[in-house]
Amino acid sequence: MAIPAEKQFASAERQAVTHILHPLDPLTADEIEAAAAILKEASQLGPRVRFETVVLKEPDKEVVEGFSEGDPISREAFLVVLDNDREATYEATVSLNDKEVISWEHIPGVQPRIMFDEFAECETTVKSDPEFQEALRKRGISDPSLVMVDPWSAGYYGYPEEEGRRLALARNFLRSSPNDNGYARPIEGLSVLVDLNKMEVMRIDDYGVVPLPPQDGNYGAEFLDQFGGNFRQDLKPLDITQPEGSSFTVDGHRVTWQKWHLRVGFTPREGLVLHTVGYEDQGRIRPVLYRAALSDMVVPYGEPGGDHYRKNAFDAGEYGIGSLTNPLTLGCDCLGEIFYFDADLNTGSGKAFTIPNAVCMHEEDYGILWKHTDWRTGQVEVRRSRRLVISSIATVGNYEYGFFWYFYQDGTIQLEIKLTGIINTASIEQGEDPKYGSIVAPGLIGHIHQHFFNFRLDMSVDGDANTVQEVNTVAEPLGPDNPHANAFYAQATTLKSEVEAQRVIDPMSGRYWVVTNPSSANALGRPVGYKLMPGENILPFADPSASIMKRAGFMAKHLWVTPYAADELSATGSYPNQHPGGAGLPEYTKKDRNVENTDLVLWYTLGYHHVPRPEDWPVSPVGYCGFSLKPVGFFNTNPVLDVPPSAHHNGACHG
């Protein structure tokens, strides 16, 4: 039974979901451990095996769309297993209902994500290596316990000695005390290549000694004396209260708010996933999105020297951004009347662990929704807007990424990424003027870099048979149709195939893309639609021949469109770690399949360009990027005319 949100909590609450209500419910902790145990027993796995993935094998769309409450639910788990001794990767499907292995397959020539337990083991391996310790002593560092080791994915560069080995490239920093910000003192010119299967140092590259930067870079409250000695004294309390509770209702993983209906999911690779998003209109729930999630992301850096050219981290496909998600804190990460969803994930040993408060949900006031004043009559009508916020935040080494989905009363969906944390740093000689970075503190630089995100949007605008149109605003040439030289219009072009639908933004033409349903018309006789509105964006600067462009080919286009395929979930393919390139969207779209009037998926790429500033050190203020999905003829008229006016302390907000 659904429980009204105001009955669930006063200020913050979370609902432990231990029973399955719907085929799309994520695996529970018990199911994760059961799936791993079933596979261990049936496959006789060796002692040095790591479970990279244990997630719900999502059922076919037909099963989900035909499901009714109370129907029997078949539960299957999908697993990815790494055998360190055999240096081999396997995929398995396990039936939790029948407690048996349905499939078990060796996947040759791939490397699964680097797992969290490997990070810790890699750091121990590097710090205990005698050659590494000698390199530290050469730099005047005698205590390896204060060294901070960050294992980075090694990428792919065709080096023969690296072929077939599971690698991490360890970059190193020095703390002055256990709580010190190690990123203030990069141990420049010293990197360690580690074989993660054998968990041993394969090679140490020493590009020469560079002095450690002289200044600390601490930012926590305990170091207050380092940045002025006092907190600001002029901030008054700002309280957000909802005396009657929030307006949303939660039933397991199902959320209803205003006229929105959706489901909240979570995976270790993607993090927050939204399912079956629809808007209630004229007595029925009209579908908009079947599934929406981060597909992958990559951070290419622009410095060619030393080992910095290998800084190209795929934070979802190589690390699993979901598994690095933060437990969120009331009053800090989330403010107001909050509902939390926990995330149950797997460890490398196949045990379950829980990230409490992994997903935060709350309402926000968002200014005016609409307003008009009739100056002749003095009649004023104004409505206030509010939005539902569903968010999660992940820490990937030095960086933090917040993913915020906003649902508005007028049918708009917005995705906003908040980027913060600590910039990746390098040391330079005093007096050096860096070409590929910015000096942020004495002897310390942040390299120029970019963050590229790709979101997979499985569209379902009033049903699965959809078509995409590109809309550009065009100036009418001067002539009989434009005698006064003022005419311009919006021109729509249907994108019929995968190759035709590979597009880039064009702000100067006001370009956007509309997903229409040719079989569903509004009251004006036009096909209903939703448009994808780009926000801040950019293209990569790496040459097409660069390794990163081959491995993250999705960056070359802002829009990709494919017909729905259940096994096409990532813009970089299933295993981007150390992949030579060409997988994912470039591979999917080779056949140039039809994308007109069919079940289709939008893949939207957005790029955030970061030239570091001194103001980004020692911790960066939040930067923003994102996109919006807006109804275009989806409704017959303004859908928020029925939002009631707000009470005002001097009277009503209308009259």
- Among 399, 406, 530, 564, the one annotated catalytic: 399
Asked whether the bond before 618 is cis by omega within 30 degrees of 0, the reply is yes
Torsion of CA 268, 560, 449, 150, to 10 degrees: 20
399 catalytic? Reply is yes
Cα 307 to Cα 320: distance, rounded to the nearest angstrom: 23
Among candidate residues 221, 219, 216, 189, the one with its CA nearest the CA of residue 205: 189
Query: Is residue 604 within 8 Å of 566, Cβ to Cβ?
Result: no
CA distances to 54, 206, 351, 358, 610 from 345, rounded to whole Å, are 7, 38, 8, 11, 32
Cα 378 to Cα 360: distance, rounded to the nearest angstrom: 42
Cα 442 to Cα 215: distance, rounded to the nearest angstrom: 7
> Which H helix or E strand runs over 402?
strand 399-408
588 catalytic? Reply is no
Write the burial class of residue 145 (CB in 10 Å: 0-12 exposed, 13-18 middle, 19+ buried). Answer: exposed
- Among 83, 150, 180, 315, the one annotated catalytic: 315
Structure tokens that stand for 241 in this block:
């209260």
Structure tokens that stand for 201 in this block:
């140092």
- Longest C-alpha distance within the chain, in Å? 85
First to last CA, the chain: 40
Among candidate residues 597, 344, 465, the one with its CA nearest the CA of residue 61: 465
Among candidate residues 388, 404, 384, 383, the one with its CA nearest the CA of residue 258: 388
> Which H helix or E strand runs over 138?
helix 130-138
Residues involved in catalysis: 315, 399
